[in-house]
Each structure stands twice: as structure tokens, then as C-alpha cells.
Amino acid sequence: MELHEIRISGLSRSSEIELVPIGDIHIGTINCDLNELERVVEYVYKHDNCYWQGMGDYEECIKHQDSRRFDPRTVPERHLARLGDIAQSQKEELVSILEPILNPDKCWGLHGGNHEEDLFKYYGEDIVNQICSTYGLRNLGYKALTRLMFSRSTRGGTATFVIHSQHGHGGGRKVGSKINLLRDLPANIDADVHIMGHIHDRVMDDAVQLKLSPAGRKLKLKAREMVFGITGTFYRTYQEGNTNYAEKRDYPPTPMGCIKITFAPWSSRSKLHIEKLRT
């Protein structure tokens, strides 16, 4: 597990900070929706108080030596032309799209996914670390806890949130099973935000946890907001004129795009909000 801290200062009482988790892109397959990815990148780039975090599985990272998973019929010609270094070809396309927001002023770090993990384990290519080293980003590994510290330009204005993020695991075809998986995330980890990818869906939920006021203060019931999210995908389950592993397994079609988490540290009402990102 990686531990990370983000500090943002100079905010006002009405400031809202947005986080867009971007992952499960799967560049290197013809099922990847590059147009939707470009729209998300443009949204993050154009909004000053909007940041993003990588959730893993940015590329397919499947080499032709992997006879079980490699299928040339699902690979775009531009990447087939570089079969010998196909993962690097995919990385170059990835960074060319992400480059406007591929900097520490916009990105809170990158998780690796199971596709990048397998590429490193079997072929020694660490794509995530290469990108992080080149662009000065924090490598968040597979799972991370990130402390966000916000402060206002005037006195007395500080706020702290904790994000528990990971590429993710498991699955389940029904929405209920996915929500149950999300609700299990805070069982062992204390955080305000729990997000994961991997499942190729966009699922959002929220909850309130009750607690007692701190010792030394008047007895009072406090409510702590928590939000949960499966962060979305850019992988189309079904593509006209093409058959892939997801279609063969009869996976349900999934919506394209991301979720968005809004932090409103000094709001008199809700301080956390989770929703579908509308580009």
C-alpha cells in the first residue's frame, strides 16, 4: 500500500474541488473509445479546480507471446505494425492523449492495474513507473491511501479528507453485487472516499457513519459522509464487426466514461458528492 498527501491552498469558503478517476482505458484494442477519453481529458484540462487520478489498465499490454489472451483481430493496425514492442506503442498513444493533464499540477498519481502488472511480471516492462518517472508523478501502486489537505487564503479555513483507492478486484454481473463489494471496502480502512476500477462499470453510492463528538466537548451525535465508486471504463463490450473475449462471455454492455467526486470542504450542507462525469 502506498501513502500519499496532497495539499491545496488559497481556496475560498465557496471553493469546490473535483476529482476525476480515469482508468480501464485499454488502449491497444479496437474496443477502446478514444473519443470519449479525449472528451474527459479536455474536461479536466479546462476546469481549474479539477484533478484526476489514474486507476490502472491504461493499456492492453498483451504481447503476441501470450497465446491465451492475444488476438490480432482485436488489435488496431497501428499497433500490430509494432508487434515487437506493442506495449511501448500503446504507451506512446496513451501519453499523447493524456499529455495536457499528465503533470503534477493536475494528476494526483497513477495506480497500476492487472494488465500492467502482468506485463511487468512476465516481461519486465514497468509501464506505469516509466510514465511516472517521465512526468514527475506519484506511483500509487495497486492500492493507496491519500490524505487531502485543503486550506483557505483567510484564517481558520482548513479541511482534511482521506481517499482509499485501488485498481480493484472481483466482479459480479449484477449491480447489487458491485454495491456490496463497494460497501465492504471501509471494513478495514478508515477513509471518506473509497474508489476502485477493474470491474468496467460506473457505480456510485454514498453512506453516513455516526460517531460521538470528541472527548472534552459536549455530547453530540456527529455524521460522517462517505462516498463509494466504481470508476468507469473506456472499453466497449460490444463493437460492430468484431468479437472479443467480453462478448464471448456474454458480459453486459457498460456505459463509457468516468465518475466525478466533488469536495466542498466548507459547505454548510454536503461536503462530499459523487456523480457521473458529464463531458
Of residues 122, 98, 119, the one with CA closest to residue 110: 98
| 164 Cβ contact list (under 8 Å, min separation 6) | 143, 144, 145, 185, 186, 189, 191, 193, 194, 195
Higher pLDDT, 21 or 153: 21
Crossing angle of the two packed helices 127-135 and 114-123, in degrees rounded to 10: 100
Q: Which amino acid is at 226?
A: M
pLDDT digits (tens, 9 = 90+) for 37-85: 999 999 999 999 999 999 999 999 999 998 888 999 999 999 999 999 9
Q: Report the CATH number that the domain containing residue 48 is assigned in CATH.
A: 3.60.21
Q: What DSSP letter does each residue of 90-128 carry, written as one string?
A: HHHHHHHHHGGG-STTTEEEEE--HHHHHHHHHH---HH
| Confidence (pLDDT) at 182 | 83
Residue matched to cell numbers 498483451:
62
Q: Are 206 and 272 in contact (CB under 8 A)?
A: yes
pLDDT digits (tens, 9 = 90+) for 189-228: 999 999 999 999 999 999 998 989 888 889 999 888 999 9
| Confidence (pLDDT) at 181 | 84
pLDDT digits (tens, 9 = 90+) for 150-173: 999 877 689 999 999 999 987 777
Mean pLDDT of 256-264: 97
> CA-to-CA distance for 42 and 35, rounded, in angstroms?
11
Mean pLDDT of 223-242: 90
Q: How far apart are the first and last CA of the chain?
A: 32
- For residue 245, is pLDDT > 80? no
| Confidence (pLDDT) at 155 | 73
> Strands 143-152 and 2-11, how do they pair?
parallel
DSSP 12: -
Q: Are 229 and 259 in contact (CB under 8 A)?
A: yes
Q: What DSSP letter does each residue of 125-156 carry, written as one string?
A: --HHHHHHHHHT--EEESEEEEEEEEEESSTT
Mean pLDDT of 233-243: 87
Of residues 227, 277, 240, 272, the one with CA closest to residue 255: 277
Mean pLDDT of 165-188: 83
> For the chain, what is the domain count?
1
Mean pLDDT of 106-112: 98
- For residue 136, is pLDDT > 90? yes
> Strands 107-111 and 139-141, how do they pair?
parallel
Number of Cα atoms under 13 Å in the Cβ half of residue 157: 18
Residue matched to cell numbers 484533478:
51
pLDDT confidence band for 4 (50 / 70 / 90): very high
Long-range contacts of 175-183 (CB under 8 A, 24+ apart): 175/203, 178/203, 178/230, 179/203, 179/205, 179/228, 182/228, 182/229, 182/230, 183/207, 183/228
| Confidence (pLDDT) at 114 | 95
Mean pLDDT of 99-127: 96
Q: For the chain, what percent of residues have pLDDT higher than 70? A: 99
| Confidence (pLDDT) at 156 | 67
Domain range for 54 is: 2-276
| Confidence (pLDDT) at 251 | 82
- Return the SS3 of 183: helix
The phi-psi region of residue 252 (left if phi > 0; otherwise alpha if psi is between -120 and 50; otherwise beta) is beta
